[in-house]
Structure 1
Amino acid sequence: MSSAERVAELEGQFESTMVSYDGMILRERDYVRNRPASEQEEEAMEDEAPAGESLEDLIQSAEAELPAPPPPGGQGEGGSGPEQSNSSGQATGPGLPTKGRMGEFDHGGSPAVVPEDIPTGNDDDVVARQIREAATRETDPELRERLWEEYRKYKKSQK
Structure 2
Amino acid sequence: NILGQVAASLLWMHLYHPQGGPVNAILTGLGLGFVGDAWLAQENLYWALVPMSIWAAAGFNMILFLAAMESIPQTVYEAAEIDGASPWLQFWTITMPLIWEVLSISIVFMIIGGMKAFEVIWLLTNQSPTSDNHVIGTRMVQAMFEEFHVGEATAIAVILFMIVFFGTTVTLRLMRRETVEF
> Which category describes the TM-score, using the shorter chain as reference length?
under 0.3
Q: Which has the higher contact order (CA 8 A, sep 6+)?
A: 2
Task: Give the TM-score normalised by the residue count of structure 2.
Answer: 0.21
Q: Greater helix percent: which structure?
A: 2
